[in-house]
Each structure stands twice: as structure tokens, then as C-alpha cells.
Structure 1
Amino acid sequence: MSRIKILHVVRPAAGGMKNHLINLVRYTDKKRFDVTVACPPNTALWDELVALGIQTLPISLVGELSPTRDYAAVRSLVKYLHQSGTTILHAHSSKGALVGRLAAIMARTPVVIFTAHNSIFYEEWPEWKKKLFARVERFLARFTDKIITVSDALKQELMEREGLPVKQLTTIYNGIEVDRFNAKVDVKAVRRNLNIPELGPVVGTIARLAPQKGVSYFLKAASLLKEYQVNFLVVGDGPLEETLKQEAAELGLQGRVIFAGRRENIAEILSVLDIFVLPSITEGLPLTILEAMAAGKPVVATRVGGVPEAIVEGKTGLVVAPKDPEALAVALAGLIGERDRLMRMGTNGQKHVREKFTVSMMVEKTMELYQQLLAEKKLIQGKGQN
């Protein structure tokens, strides 16, 4: 039996979405599926895919709407879909889904899937833009066989805000390679490399420094904990980097907050943390909290998106309201210095991730969905399921 051709379509991706896609294509069964990824060249995602030997297709896709580039990307995709005989188009992110699904409609690709990684209703968007985007999504959903959401909270939002039917939506949780975050590390050497003082616990966040990640609230919470001998760590880069550094200085956090920039050795960095913080304003199901739990670290995160689905309150971490630095500071103050409680939460977190959020689970459920849709359309032998 010939392999089923799959084309993944994605905009320039970093962080969680990039890691999600790489894990998905890397571990998809190559005996059953022939996988290609369409994405912009000269990006971190492209370079990693090439290094892994994954087939790639260059397209001119950018994050923001760009009629000229988007039209060129649609044309490239339509040509490829026709020539390659692709059976499944799997789009990621709202922008990838817009361009990918338009191409799939024009090329009459048999199976069309969209993974929604995050809310499209970013708070900084004006209301007219949110309504327009929801209307476009409703239209394109008519040509989509299944929409995967990475959390039940995101699934509920798409039902309520876009009016999508429940039968069209399915939740497949993000997954990680758990063992990568449980290796032995020279903690003292990592602290030195990050310029973290030898004394005092480390409370840190790893995030793109963009508005939706809420790092400003992390800094405000840190400023409320000045009497504690705590080192605060911010790992990541992004458009707000200089603004956040200036805010830290204005809050009197010189010498207390270390901005480490973008780092690739996330497992090593997690090893030096005593508590991991995710202060986001919006999320789907962030990989960073799963990675932190896999590394045996308690998590304090905001109650947004799928975060409460990943954290067992009081057992693997604590959940607080978003945009509330006082609540975040109170949660951290209650954990700092409670060594036994931190260790217990960390152990619980490792067990929880192994039971619910592994890469193998994520990939297997995605492949099962492929098989189900192919069978329903009588493209393979088998019985479709609802």
C-alpha cells in the first residue's frame, strides 16, 4: 500500500508551536505517511526541519496579513497539491489555516485539518477585527474536516465565539519528550553560566517577550517580594525586551532579575529553577509548563486557556488570576522556602506529565484522526468513527 501524503502548512513559528510541529512530523509513522512541511525558508523552523531530514516546501508566508505574499503562498500551495497528489492538508495557526485551507479548496484536497494552537481573539485587536476574523473562520470551517484544539478551553472558545459545531472539534493535548527534561545536570555550572548568584532560590519564566505572555506582571510580582532573598530569571527574547528591562530598573530590581535572552538549553535552565512561573494573558496549552513539570518543578501560572487542564491545583502547582501581580506574589511567597512542598509538587508533576502529556500520546491520537477521516471518505480500508 502506498503511503498517504500529508502537507503541513505553518507560518514562521517559534517556541511552543515550532516544537509541537517538529515533534509531530518527526514521530509520525513514515511507513504509513509521507510528510512534507510548507513554511518560510531562512527561519529556525525551516533549519530544524532540514537538519532532521524532513521534506520541506518554501512558501512566502508571514505572520501578518500580506495580500501579495499570501496570494503567492496560495498559488505555490495549489501547484504543489496538484502535482504531489497530497491527500491530507494539515494547517497550523490561524494564518497557516487561512492560506492552507484556501489552497486546499482550490486544489480539492480530500482531507483538510486545522490545529488551533491559541486563541485568535488577542486582546490588543480592535473588536471589528475580531468579528471579521471569526466570520472568516466560520466560512473556512465549512471546508475543514476537523479542527484540533490543544485544550478543552480553546475548544469551548471556538464553539462560543465562532459558533462552530462540537462535532467538528476535537481536543488533542500537546505532548513533550518527557525524558529530555529529567537528565542529570551540573546545577552550579548552569547558575554560573546564567550569572545567577550562588545564594537564594531561583524563580523563573521562559517565554517570548511579547504582550500576551504577561512578563510585565511577573516583574511587578518580583518587586513585591524584595524582602525575600530570591533570584528572578527571565529567559527569552522578543519585541518587549528593552521595555521590560527598563521596567525592571524602574521597579528597583537591579541585581534581582537576570535577563538571560534566548536560550536553547531549556532542560538545563529548568534544572536550576525552584519554581517556574507562567504569567500569560492568553494561552492554548503551553509546552513550557509541561516541560517544567517534567523537570520536577512546581508551576505557578495564570488561569488562562488550557493551563488549568494541565496543572493539578495544589498538587503540581498553583493557578492565579491573570494580570494580578499581587495574587502571583502571594502564591510565590507561600511556596518560597517550603522545600518539602516544592519537592512533593515536583514529583507529582513528573508523574502527571507522563500520564497525560507525552509526545507519543499526541502523535498517536493525531494519526488515529488521520485514519478515521481517511476511512470516513473511503480513501482507505476501514470503518470511520464519530
Structure 2
Amino acid sequence: MRIVQVIDSLEAGGAERIAVNYANALSKRVEFSGLVTTRAEGNLKSQVEGKVNYLFLKKKHTLDFRAVLRFKRYCKSNHVTYIHAHSTSYFLAIMVKVLYPKVKIIWHDHNGNSEFLEVREAVPLNIASIFFKGILVVNNQLKAWAHRELHCSNVLYIPNFTNPETNENQYTELLGNSGKKILSLANLREQKDHFMLLDAAILLREKHPDWSFHLVGKDFEDDYSEKVKTYLKAKGLEGYVFIYGSRTDTAHVISQADIAVLSSKSEGLPVALLEYGLYHKPVVVTNVGEIPIIVRNRQNGLVVPAMNSQAFAEALSELIDNPAFKQKMGASLHQTIMDHHSESAAMDQYLNWIVTISNGKQG
């Protein structure tokens, strides 16, 4: 098999991490594993392994025919059989297929707004899906939506996976008191609900003023970001809540945390959660997307209702007040990730699926 991953950028986001993970994992298992980024590079480029055939297209706009032709030449010269298109990059993949019909398209749906699929615009994807050989999804809600709305019956749910990072340049040092740091690894986007997290921080500060919150993730410098920063200042949380922006030394950042959180009001299967478990971190998370399937309340973490700052603060306080319980939750989540979200299990499922659909009628 000769497979290329295509993604819009290599900024530190969930879909981008999965694209890199697939390219790296496949480089050990198939004849050819490529990774093409279309619009921008980014911090994750340093995580692409040497065996992966990498190309940056420098795409300028949606109908950039020079980029299309470059990608088509890349596929033809490398005898690519499958384009694995992540998120919105499916449009470029379709344009290439029109020019180079022998290539097949797999679309990977990373949509994190799984709680609000009823408002998702289906028409563009409905048309695009005619060209798909198969669809991968990151949770069961997306699988049901794809079967209902799209013209491709080969839909597979494969849980996201993560691996320990290698060759990481460690440079981020979290502020605050050692042994008392709470980490949120999430880009500054509305679905991540940082406002609920800040409200929980206000409540927690009353009982545990020596603990601190650390928000690590891409800052898009948009209205949402500005509102979060304004709210933080208005509530007097400076010196208690710290914002770092995007970081590439993810493992080093997580290693400094004592509790890790996800405050989202909507999710798919967040890669950050897998990374928390990989590094033995106890978690407090909301009950959205696939999170409750991974984190079983009080078995390997604490799960609370979304948009409930009171419950979130109480769960954090429980972990802080019970060190043995906190350690047990971290160890249990690590075992869950190792048992069910390993690279080998995901790759076996993925490659077997491709073999199964290769003789299908679609694509």
C-alpha cells in the first residue's frame, strides 16, 4: 500500500496530531507513507519521522490550481494508491482525483462538535462523499451521521491513538507552585469552554488558593480569545491562571501537571485525553463526545456534566484532598490508554479495513 496523509496545517491541534501519528505509524508498515500539508506548516513538523515522505504545497487559496497540480504530480510520481484526507482537506483530494482517477480517497472526520451535529452543513460533504472510498470517524455520533447523510457506506470508527513523543525540545516551564498545577491542553476555541473552567478556578481558589491553572493551546487571537483574557482579568485570576499559547514540547508540559482537565461542551475523541493517560495524569473531564467511553467515572478519572463549574470545582477538590485516590486515577487511565488506544491496535484495524474496501464498488 502507498498512502499519503493530507492536512491543512501542522499547527498543534487534534486532527493535525492524528495526521502525523498516522503518517509515522504507517511508515513502519507500508511501502510508502507520505504527509502533505496544504496551507501552512507549524509546530508539529518537528514530530514527523524521517521515513515519512513530506511535502508542503504552499496552497494560497481554495482554487489554487498550481497546488492541485503539484499534489497530482506528487501522487503520480510516488504511485500513491490512497489519499487519506483529514477534515477540510478532502476538497483538494477530490480535485486531484478528478485529474488522477486511479487514486482513492479516505476521508477522516475529526469534527469536535458532536453534540451539535443537527446544525452541521451537510450539503458540501454530501456531494463530496460520492468520491470517497471510505470514511473514518472519531466517535460513534459521527459514524451515525455519516451513514445518514453521506453517500459512502464504508464508514469505520477507529479510536484515536497517541505515542510518547521523541526528540522533543523541552522549553516550556509552567509557573506556580510545584506539585499544585492543573493543566488544560486545549486550543482557545469556543467548544473547549474555557469560561466554565475559569468559573471553576474561581470556586476552587476559595479552598485551594495555592493551586494554579495552566491553559496550553493555540491562541487564534480572535474574539473568543480576547473575551477569555478579559474575563480572566476581570475576575482577578492573574497569577492563578496562566495562558501559554501553543507549545511543541507537549510531553514536557504534561509531565509538570498534577491534574489534567478537559472542560469542553462538545468533543469528538480528544487527543489531549489520550496524552494525559499516556503520562499517568489524573483527570477531571466533561461527559461529551467519546470522553465517557474512555473515562469511567471514579474508575479511571472523574466525569462531570458539561457547563457545570460547581461540579467541576468539586471534582478537582476531591482529587486534591485525596492524594492516594488521585494517584490511582492516573494509573488506571494510563492502563486504559495502553489497552485500547495503542498504535498497533489502530493500525491493524485500519489496514485490514483498507484491504476489505479495496474491492468495493465506491471510489
Q: Look up the match of 2:163.
A: 177
Aligned partner of 1:118 in structure 2 is 111
Quote the residue 2:15 is aligned against. Answer: 17
Structure 1 contact 203–277 (Cα < 8 Å) conserved = yes
Superposition RMSD in Å: 3.1
Q: Among residues 330, 334, 343, which one is paired with 1:359 in the alignment?
A: 343
Secondary structure in structure 2 of the residue aligned to 1:35: strand
Aligned partners of 1:5 and 1:34 also within 8 Å = yes
Task: Tell me whether 1:150 sits opposite 2:138 in the alignment.
Answer: yes
Change (3 A) 1:278 1:371: same
Equivalent pairs counted in the alignment come to: 352
Instruction: Check if 1:139 corresponds to 2:139.
Output: no
Structure 2 Cα separation of the partners of residues 335 and 237 of structure 1: 27
1:53 Cα deviation from its structure 2 partner: 4.7
- Is residue 5–residue 33 contact of structure 1 (8 Å, CA) maintained in 2? yes
Q: What is the alpha-carbon distance in structure 1 between the residues aligned to residue 94 and residue 150 of structure 2? A: 19
Residue 273 of structure 1 deviates from its aligned partner by 2.3
Q: Deviations over 1:146-174 (max 9, x none)?
A: 101122233234345x2566x42101111
Preserved contact between residue 213 and residue 242 of structure 2 (Cα < 8 Å): yes
Per the alignment, residue 232 of structure 1 pairs with: 213
Tell me the equivalent position of 1:101.
94
Which amino acid in 1 is paired with 2:108? Answer: T
Asked if 1 retains the 8 angstrom alpha-carbon contact of 2:182 and 2:214, the reply is yes
Aligned to 2:52: 54
| Shift in Å, 1:110 | 4.3
Q: Tell me which residue corresponds to 2:176.
A: 196
Instruction: Identify the residue that residue 218 of structure 1 maps to in structure 2.
Output: 197
The within-5 A match list for 1:58-77 is 58-61=56-59, 66-69=61-64, 71-77=65-71
Relative to the length of structure 2, the TM-score reads: 0.85
Contact 1:7/1:35, CA 8 A, preserved across alignment: yes
Counterpart mapping for 1:275-294 below 5 A:
275-294=259-278
Shift of 1:237: 3.2
Alpha carbons 2:113, 2:267 under 8 Å: kept:
no
Who is 2:85 aligned against?
Answer: 91
Alpha-carbon separation, structure 2, partners of 1:300 and 1:312: 11
Kindly provide the amino acid, as one letter, of the partner of residue 219 in structure 1. L
Which of 3, 6, 18 pairs up with 1:6?
3
Q: Is the 8 A contact 1:46 1:56 kept in 2?
A: no
User: Which structure 2 residue ranges, 5 or more long, are not aligned?
Assistant: none
5+ residue gaps, structure 1: 182-188, 378-386
Identity of aligned residues (%): 25
Deviation at 1:175, TM superposition (A): 0.9
Shift of 1:194: 2.0
Q: With the length of structure 1 as denominator, give the TM-score of the two structures.
A: 0.80
The structural deviation recorded for 1:92 is 0.8
> Whole-Å Cα distance in 1 between the matches of residues 56 and 7 of structure 2?
11
Q: 1:255-292 CA deviation, whole Å, 9 max, x = no partner?
A: 21122333333223223323211112332211111111
> Contact 1:220–1:251 at 8 Å: present in 2 too?
no
Tell me, yes or no, if the aligned pair for 2:9 and 2:40 is still in contact at 8 Å: no
Hey, what's the Cα distance between the residues in 1 that align with 2:151 and 2:314?
39
> CA 1:170/1:274 → structure 2, altered by over 3 Å: closer, same or farther?
same
Alignment of 1:254-265 (within 5 A): 254-265=238-249
Match of 1:374 among 351, 358, 361: 358
**1:230-252 deviations in whole A, cap 9, x for unaligned?**
22221223125454232112112
C-alpha distance 137-37 of structure 1, shift in aligned 2 (>3 A): same
For residues 87 and 163 of structure 1, do their structure 2 counterparts lie closer, same or farther at Cα, with a shift above 3 Å needed? closer
